[in-house]
Amino acid sequence: MKIIMTPNKSGTKISKYIYGHFAEHLGRCIYEGIWVGENSPIPNKNGIRTDVVDALKNICVPVLRWPGGCFADEYHWKDGIGPKEKRKKMVNTHWGGLTENNHFGTHEFFELVSQLGCEAYINGNVGSGTVQEMQEWVEYMTMNGESPMANLRKENHKVDPWKVAFFGVGNESWGCGGNMRPEYYADLYRRYQTYVRQYGKDKIYKIACGPNIDDYNWMEQVMNSAAPFMDGISLHHYALTGAWEDKGPALNFPEEQWWSLIASAQKMDELITKHSTIMDKYDPDKRIGLIVDEWGSWLSVEPGTNPGFLYQQNTIRDAMVAAVTLNIFHKHADRVHMANIAQTVNVLQAMLLTDGEQMVKTPTYHVFDLYKNHQDGELIDSYGDENDTISYTISKKEEKVTISICHFSLTASKELSFDGDNDLTLVDANYITAESMDAHNDFTHPETISIKPFKELSILNGTLNVIIPPMSVVSIVVE
Ligand code: AHR
């Protein structure tokens, strides 16, 4: 397979926010996975796990979405501030019916954001919250100087405001966020977003609740009524092996589910294309971002775990889903301004799994590691032979070109060659691969899949030749 790179055409910038993450109060994501409390024997800084923060910093997490998900539309932020022993408990009705102590609230979230060095994406409550509650949360977080909410924040020992880069007005308002019709939501969006005020110098990027999967009518109606009032509109699409009601297992799955999960992930391309076409009608200059703030594989929970906790193992198949989807986002980088994989720790297609003080990095984590050079890179156009088991991205940053390739054949290696205008010098090459289609890392074998140097390549007369093994993700840097 031969690919010609055309680096001299000016490319689209791949926003680093495409590499965003999502942490919801769901199962063991926030509690246990991130927050263990200051008095935990698990090493932590101000209550937040040190191992998790270190691992996430390594993949350069650019933005974190919180507190949900469905949880966002029943979260009342004032219950999560002030002295912890006085915080009201709440029942997480969506996810397992567990009683939460609200120890992880606004201050703790911004402590996490500060430890990660990333931006905050707060999702506000439209489903069961008032306009006043949303307005006051924004004022509490971002108002400098004198105001009732700024003063309350100071009473809670935070003098300076925080920065809220992104704010979502409701989540899945067509479903768990209120079961609304698009016409009704669009009007509510216009009203609620009015009070998401900009108090400081930093503009808040406002995100409307967009469609589920292929609900093109939702996109049409909300864009038609509310486009001038938004900076972004969300899209949710999870990769499934078959019907929603009958999710396949994460391990020991039949070969057909290797293909069906990857095909479901590939559907993202069609969804973005069709939703973008609708958006183009109302926003031809592509000012408004399509924000894919929930994506990833959704599989059956691990046997014996709480079905409401969405804890699933993560295999080389999930690595394929991640790489294929990131390649699709790159291709649509002119419209996709941010994406947030669901979810960061212990939930759905997680980066990290924890068990007590143990932590493992998943194959998906390693894809985010291999791909991190693409963050804020310039997309390089290319053309060449088609192949239905190869998906790739080429981008350029600081004179270095990163070529990332996902090969999801189960059996055969594939020869590829990349040709450009210039001579190429190898800088670095790494990959992950596996021997079986459900290879994964667990607490007894944490390194079954890990990043290794990639050696099956040569550069001859300006052409990069590679042999990509099956079930692998490769990232090569040249200059
Ligand atoms: O990510 C899990 C759930 O999936 C989210 O809470 C919700 O928004 C979506 O349905």
ipTM summary value: 0.99
Known catalytic residues are 172, 294
Residue 387 — very low, low, confident or very high, per pLDDT cuts 50/70/90? confident
8 domain residue, yes or no: no
Tell me the C-alpha distance between 187 and 224, whole Å.
11
Over residues 194-224, the pLDDT tens digits come to 999 999 889 999 999 999 999 999 999 999 9
Domain shared by 395 and 334, yes or no: no
Pocket test for ligand 1, best of 21, 24, 291, 341 (most atoms within 8 A of CB): 24
Mean pLDDT, residues 359-387: 94
**What is the number of the ligand 1 atom nearest to the C-alpha of 94?**
6
Q: So what's the pLDDT on residue 9?
A: 65
Last residue of a domain, one of 375, 395, 418: 375
Over residues 224-278, the pLDDT tens digits come to 999 999 999 999 999 999 999 999 999 999 999 999 999 999 999 999 999 999 9
DSSP letters spanning 375-419: TTPEEPEEEE---TTEEEEEEEETTEEEEEEEE--SS--EEEEEE
Domain shared by 328 and 410, yes or no: no
Beta carbons of 222 and 208 less than 8 angstroms apart: yes
Tell me the C-alpha distance between 85 and 373, whole Å.
43
Q: So what's the pLDDT on residue 462?
A: 85
Last residue of a domain, one of 358, 375, 392: 375
Domain shared by 278 and 363, yes or no: yes
Domain shared by 368 and 398, yes or no: no
User: Nearest residue CA, atom 8 of ligand 1?
Assistant: 69
Q: So what's the pLDDT on residue 331?
A: 95
How far is the centre of ligand 1, averaged over its atoms, from the C-alpha of 2 (Å)?
A: 40
265 domain residue, yes or no: yes
Secondary structure (3-state) at 273 = helix
4 domain residue, yes or no: no
Domain shared by 104 and 186, yes or no: yes
Pocket test for ligand 1, best of 74, 92, 176, 310 (most atoms within 8 A of CB): 176
Domain shared by 355 and 420, yes or no: no
User: Nearest residue CA, atom 4 of ligand 1?
Assistant: 69
User: Nearest residue CA, atom 3 of ligand 1?
Assistant: 69
Amino acid at 227: A
The structural domain count of the chain equals: 2
143-150 — which CB contacts under 8 Å span 24+ positions? 143/199, 143/200, 144/199, 144/200
CATH of the domain at 336: 3.20.20.80
> Is the previous residue joined to 232 through a cis bond, with omega within 30 degrees of 0?
no
Residue 394 — very low, low, confident or very high, per pLDDT cuts 50/70/90? very high
Q: Is the CB of 67 under 6 A from ligand 1?
A: no
**What is the number of the ligand 1 atom nearest to the C-alpha of 69?**
6
Where in the sequence is the domain holding 472, given as residue range(s)?
A: 381-478
Domain shared by 453 and 344, yes or no: no
CATH of the domain at 452: 2.60.40.1180
Domain shared by 161 and 44, yes or no: yes
Over residues 423-452, the pLDDT tens digits come to 889 999 999 999 999 999 999 999 999 999
Q: So what's the pLDDT on residue 420?
A: 79
Over residues 80-115, the pLDDT tens digits come to 999 999 999 999 999 999 999 999 999 999 999 999
Q: So what's the pLDDT on residue 8?
A: 64
Q: Is the CB of 136 under 6 A from ligand 1?
A: no
Domain shared by 223 and 326, yes or no: yes
Domain shared by 396 and 470, yes or no: yes
Domain shared by 314 and 425, yes or no: no
Domain shared by 369 and 450, yes or no: no
Q: Is the CB of 108 under 6 A from ligand 1?
A: no
Last residue of a domain, one of 351, 375, 399: 375
Over residues 287-303, the pLDDT tens digits come to 999 999 999 999 999 99
Over residues 23-72, the pLDDT tens digits come to 999 999 999 999 999 999 999 999 999 999 999 999 999 999 999 999 99
